[in-house]
């Protein structure tokens, strides 16, 4: 008997009236994870497309692979570099034990040593994220009698990639639980939430445990080592201090700088973005609008200038490659559920986020990042933007036929 036959023979036990009816959500999750769903819509309207929800989510996860691989490399690179700078040749801990068993050292010039070391930080955080968030997904699906949606796989991956490598695992679990429950499930689940769950979880951790989410000591997981991000350096000491700290535009573009797991490499993120736009998953209007808002408002602030705030002098091409702007642009701004749905609204939505990101980065000296809060702010206004766009269309058509 094939695996497909085994699933089909077990189906009556989990369907309505079956012995394990309450656990149908778990059965359906495993079945559709392995096989394409065979169900079809029974009532109108119908939409025929080669890419169902599962394929859309799969494409997004595939698009994150370059950022994941480079994130593991950069995490290992920053960690091994810090160990070398502190003169630590044999660090303690279970990660060092595993690497020693594999015969892998801590040489920052060794590519495989960096990837392996970074993976030992990335994988535990992702496993905890997947486990804790998955439990809450299954609980809500079971209680409501709904299927477990594949959207969580995307949220779990994005959430992991926007965390610092030094985040304690208990905080990782707490954050994703908050993001899944408060950011999505209380509104009815995937497709009904108006806030990005990954960002909700990250924002919760930032405001609940700011010492573990910000500052110079959180980006490289080595006790006693501190390394500021490019935005942190520019905000405190000005643009001229970036080179002094070994931060160049090219290193920021490539991604060999301090930052969260998947946010440092602009080029890796761009590869994922090209894939998403080419496959039609990401709408280019959102990207264009956000870039236009960021560039336009940055040029305005550059022209205004400030004798007390060095961030007024940061050019737009530096904003592009620092912090979480590029990652947020590709994977968060284009998220179809929480973004504006109308074409004019997408441009407005993108511009709003681009302007808000720079406004927070430059005007608010206590928060040198900005993209996370800007996207959440945009999420809140997306329905209102679409409402006024539709309203304007109706008004224009009524005048045309009057």
pLDDT at 5: 73
Give start and end residues of each alpha helix (H) in 263-370: 266-278, 284-304, 316-321, 325-327, 343-363
State both tokens at 52.
């169902």
pLDDT at 43: 47
Q: Where are the domains of the chain?
A: 1-38, 54-227
Closest of 110, 63, 103 to residue 83, by C-alpha: 110
pLDDT at 37: 61
**Which residues neighbour 152 within 8 Å (Cβ) at sequence distance 6 or greater?**
133, 134, 137, 180, 190
pLDDT at 131: 94
Give the integer Cα–Cα distance in Å for 102 and 98.
6
Q: Are 162 and 329 in contact (CB under 8 A)?
A: no
- Give the DSSP letter string of 18-52: STTGGGHHHHHHHHHHHS-------SS-----S--
Rounded to 10°, the helix 169-183/111-144 angle is 40
pLDDT at 176: 96
Q: What pTM was estimated for this model as a whole?
A: 0.88
DSSP state of 89: S
Give the integer Cα–Cα distance in Å for 358 and 316.
9
pLDDT 10s per residue in the chain (402 long)? 666 677 677 777 777 777 777 667 666 666 665 566 666 555 444 445 545 566 788 899 999 999 999 999 999 999 999 999 999 988 889 999 999 998 999 999 999 999 999 999 999 999 999 999 999 988 888 887 777 677 788 999 999 999 999 999 999 999 999 999 999 988 887 778 889 999 999 999 999 999 888 888 899 999 889 888 999 999 888 999 999 889 999 999 999 999 999 999 999 999 999 999 999 999 999 999 999 999 999 999 999 999 899 999 999 999 999 999 999 999 999 998 899 999 999 999 999 999 999 999 999 867 778 999 999 999 999 999 999 999 999 999 988 876
Give the integer Cα–Cα distance in Å for 362 and 219.
21
Give the integer Cα–Cα distance in Å for 275 and 241.
35
Distances (CA, A) of 212 to 206, 216, 233, 374: 8, 10, 18, 21
**Which residues neighbour 203 within 8 Å (Cβ) at sequence distance 6 or greater?**
372, 373, 376
């Amino acid at each position: 008997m094939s695996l497909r036959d085994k699933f089909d023979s077990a189906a009556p036990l989990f369907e309505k009236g079956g012995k394990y009816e309450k656990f149908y959500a778990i059965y359906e999750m495993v079945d559709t994870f392995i096989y394409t769903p065979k169900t079809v819509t029974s009532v109108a309207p119908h939409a025929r497309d080669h890419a169902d929800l599962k394929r859309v989510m799969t494409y997004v996860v595939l698009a994150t692979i370059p950022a994941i691989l480079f994130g593991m490399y950069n995490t290992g690179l920053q960690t091994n570099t810090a160990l070398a700078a502190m003169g630590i040749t044999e660090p303690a801990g279970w990660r060092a034990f595993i690497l020693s068993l594999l015969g892998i050292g801590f040489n920052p010039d060794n590519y495989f040593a960096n990837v392996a070391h970074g993976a030992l930080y990335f994988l535990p955080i992702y496993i905890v994220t997947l486990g804790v968030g998955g439990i809450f997904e299954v609980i809500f699906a079971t209680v409501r009698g709904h299927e477990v949606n594949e959207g969580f796989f995307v949220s779990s991956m994005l959430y992991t990639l926007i965390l610092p490598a030094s985040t304690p695992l208990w905080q990782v679990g707490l954050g994703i639980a908050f993001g899944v429950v408060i950011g999505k499930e209380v509104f009815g689940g995937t497709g009904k939430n108006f806030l990005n769950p990954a960002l909700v979880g990250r924002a919760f951790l930032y405001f609940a445990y700011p010492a573990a989410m910000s500052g110079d000591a959180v980006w490289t997981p080595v006790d006693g080592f501190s390394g500021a991000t490019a935005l942190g350096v520019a905000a405190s000491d000005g643009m001229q201090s970036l080179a002094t700290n070994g931060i160049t535009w090219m290193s920021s573009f490539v991604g060999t700088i301090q930052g969260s797991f998947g946010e440092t490499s602009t080029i890796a993120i761009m590869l994922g973005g090209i894939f998403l736009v080419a496959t039609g998953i990401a709408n280019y209007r959102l990207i264009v609008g956000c870039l236009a808002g960021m560039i336009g408002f940055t040029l305005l602030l550059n022209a205004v200038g400030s004798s007390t705030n060095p961030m007024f002098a940061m050019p737009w091409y530096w904003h592009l490659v620092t912090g979480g702007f590029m990652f947020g642009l590709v994977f968060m701004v284009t998220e179809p559920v929480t973004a504006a749905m109308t074409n004019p609204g997408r441009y407005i939505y993108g511009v709003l986020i681009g302007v808000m990101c720079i406004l927070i980065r430059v005007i608010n000296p206590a928060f040198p990042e900005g993209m996370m809060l800007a996207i959440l702010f945009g999420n809140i206004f997306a329905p209102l933007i679409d409402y006024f766009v539709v309203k304007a269309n109706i008004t224009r058509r009524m005048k045309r036929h009057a």
